[in-house]
Amino acid sequence: MRKVLKVVLIAIVVLILAMAGTYLVLKTKTSKNNPSEVTPSENPSQPDEDNASQVNPVSDYLKIEELPNGSTPVLPTDEPKVIFVSDRAIYAGSIDGKVTEKVASAPDKSYSVRISTESKDKSWIIVDVEDNQDLVADRRMLYAINIETYELIKIAEVDKFETSFHAYFFNNTNRLVYFVKGIPESPIFYVAVYDLGAKTNTYLLKPADEKKDWAFGFDLSSDGKYLAYVGGRNAPAPDNDASLWLKNLETGEEKLLAKGSELNPNLGYDYLSSLKFINGGKEILYSENIWKDGSNSTKYFVTDLKGNVRPATDKDLETENSTLIDKLKSILKKDLYINAVLKNCNKIIFTVSNGLKEELWEADLDCSNARSLNFGGSNFMNFTDSCKFTCQASDIFKWYLLDLETQKQIDLDELYKMDIKSAIYVE
């Protein structure tokens, strides 16, 4: 019996070693075949000029279409349109559905394409392409497409496993802030800015390689000079070692502004979490999760850029989502969470939960005039500066265009006679 057991154990060890060897070979092959894989710079606060040619080459993952008119798109650039994905291709469609134009496409059936966001000047859209052809060597790519000129820029490419890109445009510029993150509560792998005008990539934060800490949340000051982030020791989730740091992006200097309460240093329950610049970038509002006497609570504080901390006031918190949630809950007596705050429309879009059933609602910014949009829960939403937004119904997986001014709900599958997988409204 012992002999048989020994043979079985040896066989298992050999199998594990073989699988590990296969993984390393595949990873090496993937790295060689994908020279555009992002490699952080030695000085993340400075542009990585050496990697510039590696970061943004156009690859076979996404191909731009030739302009049908030779030089200009069919759809006028100044007219509202819907940019959508169907069968791995990206289209621009007129708002009445009469004209559609293919912009780009992913040639391989194993690729999936998702629209992420748009630039403030409405000329660029950001697209996330996922390669599902191999469980080990899967990749995720981030692209920018100019829907006026059909210019295609590959911004980044990373290992997809348990990661995703998050991106937004900084202020009213064409500078795209993007970061790579894994599952919820996991650390951010890096933060970077890609300038679509200058075609340069700048790494702002790469905690895993740059320093001893991970980052779990960050914000940029409105002038782009400072990056504030919550970082902790190398751990899979925030803990009581997480502290608030301020990084000067011009000098690279870092400063510790605040630490958690450490009421339970052995349990790791007390930690800093959300943060954002307020008062024109002169102060930082941050939250602290505190576990005490068997219950969990959240407290808010404000610090200046020198580390002088004070309790947050109602004025500091008036635009904080948690404050809006508490106010709406007290009015509606319902469980809910906020999807978006649309200041241009004076609206809050939120989801009301009732057991397994969810429903979209709207309210004014002061939480008055709350009403149901008569639309079920949504898996994905894309908001812009407009009072129209796109969302996917979670029950039937169809994409709709919702108009908050007219209360219309347009079925995009029906409008364009295609199976829509992702969409965004461009005004």
Q: Point out which residues pair with 424 in neighbouring strands.
A: 83
pLDDT above 60: residue 54: no
Beta strands in 260-356 (DSSP E): 271-278, 283-292, 295-304, 309-311, 335-342, 347-354
Mean pLDDT of 21-28: 38
Nearest to 381 by CA among 349, 345, 358, 405: 349
Nearest to 119 by CA among 140, 99, 148: 148
pLDDT given at position 285: 94
Q: Using 50, 70 and 90 to split pLDDT, how confident is the model at 150?
A: confident
CB 41 within 8 A of CB 210: no
Mean pLDDT, rounded, of the chain: 78
pLDDT above 70: residue 349: yes
**Residues contacting residue 215 through CB under 8 Å, at least 6 positions apart:** 187, 188, 191, 205, 207, 229, 230, 231
